[in-house]
Amino acid sequence: MFDAADKTIARERETLISREARARTEAGSAQIAALVVQKLPLLQPWITCYHVAMLRAQVLPVLLLVLSFSQSWVVGLTLLVAGALIPLFMALVGMAAEDASKRQMTEIASMNDMVMDRISAMLDIRLLGAVDRSAADFEARANTLRERTMAVLRVAFLSSTVLELFSALGVAMVAVFVGFTLLGEIGFGSWGDGLTLGQGLFLLLIAPDYFQPLRDLATAWHDRAAGFAVVADLDELDAADRIGFVGQAEPCTPLAGPISVKSKGAVARVADSEVMVPDLSLSEGQSVALVGPSGAGKTTALAALAGLVPLASGDIEVNGQSLNEKTADAWRARLALVPQRPHFPDETLQDWLDPRGTGTDPTSALQMAAALNIVARLPDGLETRLGESGGGVSGGGGTATALGARYHDRCQPASCR
């Protein structure tokens, strides 16, 4: 069971990561991270505990009930009534548990989104003097999460209390009946001439075992509610509108021919909206600046030119060929795309500028890009590790994005997302 749970979680995690990298949704990266890291592991106890407990609760109580009826119809009837009430109340409690778990999962995702937003805007928050307000917002959100977590625990304790109450009453009534029957005070409820000492001890021993599978099921009931909440999140993400990805994002040979870009009547499709791509015609050696207010669609237009988002209509030609599923990977192998927030691998700047390890001196390229002074100011020059966010080396201002021919032919589709 544990191997099956681990394989299920690994499969869902791999599916999420690969799918979200290729076709994004409106869900933020923090929400996806919460699902992958925090929520998916909650499937393990649901798979390993709940289903086993449910199977035992369906088999063992029935078997013990038959044995009880074979010795005393009163004991059998007592266990039957007490046992039937437990699933009824557990079902009622279970609906509240599922609702509480869903609210808890939603709050976890919302809190992660908030943390990511605050971290990315930390500099602006400090400049605007909003540190105390941000801390207060975070404290309020943390208290909300705490309250929803406690609500889940209250439901779990309520479920356990209901089970223990009815199981304790059932065992107590069996003990009273057996005791008074052995003392001769009760002369009904058994088959034949009454209960013997051995029969009485047998009934007293199996009565707690009759309720034990139900106890295990109640313990796993919270795992079931948490598992259902995670599955609901997965289903919602499966049904969400996605931003398409053109091509297969696989290593390939760069697109042949003189570099050129032409767009005519192109409209990029992003989730449930469409963004116009300016008509343009560029060939080798030419440049263009795409300007406009924030939110006008500059980044989306450049992403469409790089084949990172599909077109709803119109056409984009690159190197004289239509930009489509067959040519997108080869086209991106000819490009260097520097977004507003670049992502750098854990390697030195020298290795990043010389991906094939040829030992080529990048000084001339840095001089052409007017970046020699920037490199000179880095702690270790070309041997500096910039870190994931670039270590202060900006990829551009506002929503500007650079798109140009690669200095080295290198097919790295993942770096273009």
Q: What is the 3-state secondary structure (H, E, C) of 284-340?
A: CCCCCCCCCCCCCCHHHHHHHHCCCCCEEEEEEEECCEECCCCCHHHHHCCEEEECC
Structural domains of the chain sorted by starting position, each given as residue range(s) with its CATH number in brackets: 2-238 (1.20.1560.10), 243-335 (3.40.50.300)
DSSP 247: S
Which pLDDT score, from 0 to 100, does residue 92 have? Answer: 66
Structure tokens at 405: 């021919």
Judge if pTM exceeds 0.75.
Answer: no
What's the average pLDDT block by block, 10 residues per block, for the chain (417 residues)?
82 82 70 80 83 85 90 89 76 67 74 74 78 85 83 74 81 90 83 83 90 80 77 81 74 87 87 82 87 83 86 89 88 81 76 82 86 84 74 44 39 33
C-alpha distances (whole Å) from 208 to each of 61, 167, 174, 199, 285 are 10, 8, 10, 15, 85
Which pLDDT score, from 0 to 100, does residue 373 have? Answer: 86
Structure tokens at 378: 């880095």
Q: Phi, psi at residue 261, to the nearest 5°? A: -135, 130
Which pLDDT score, from 0 to 100, does residue 381 have? Answer: 85
CB 26 within 8 A of CB 273: no
C-alpha distances (whole Å) from 134 to each of 123, 131, 141, 262 are 12, 5, 11, 46
How many residues would you count in the chain?
A: 417
Judging by beta carbons within 10 Å of its beta carbon (0-12, 13-18, 19+), is residue 80 exposed, middle or buried?
middle
Measured between alpha carbons, how far is 185 from 200 in angstroms, rounded to an integer? Answer: 14
Structure tokens at 348: 């030195």
Measured between alpha carbons, how far is 363 from 353 in angstroms, rounded to an integer? Answer: 10
With tokens 């409690």, the residue in question is: 93
Which pLDDT score, from 0 to 100, does residue 91 have? Answer: 66
With tokens 């919602």, the residue in question is: 236
Could you tell me the end-to-end alpha-carbon distance of the chain, in angstroms, rounded to an integer? 38
The three-point CA angle 238-241-245 to 5° equals 95
- Provide the β-strand partners of residue 264: 315
Measured between alpha carbons, how far is 89 from 248 in angstroms, rounded to an integer? Answer: 52
CB 294 within 8 A of CB 398: yes
- Provide the β-strand partners of residue 190: 72
Residue 338's identity, in one-letter code, is V
List, in order, residues 6 or more apart from 82 with CB less than 8 Å away.
Answer: 166, 167, 169, 170, 173, 211
Which pLDDT score, from 0 to 100, does residue 63 have? Answer: 92
Measured between alpha carbons, how far is 263 from 307 in angstroms, rounded to an integer? Answer: 12
- Give which of 22, 30, 46 is closest to 232, Cα–Cα: 46
List, in order, residues 6 or more apart from 261 with CB less than 8 Å away.
Answer: 280, 281, 282, 305, 316, 317, 318
Q: Phi, psi at residue 99, to the nearest 5°? A: -65, -45
Strands 402-405, 273-276: pairing kind: unpaired
Which pLDDT score, from 0 to 100, does residue 96 have? Answer: 67
Which pLDDT score, from 0 to 100, does residue 409 have? Answer: 35
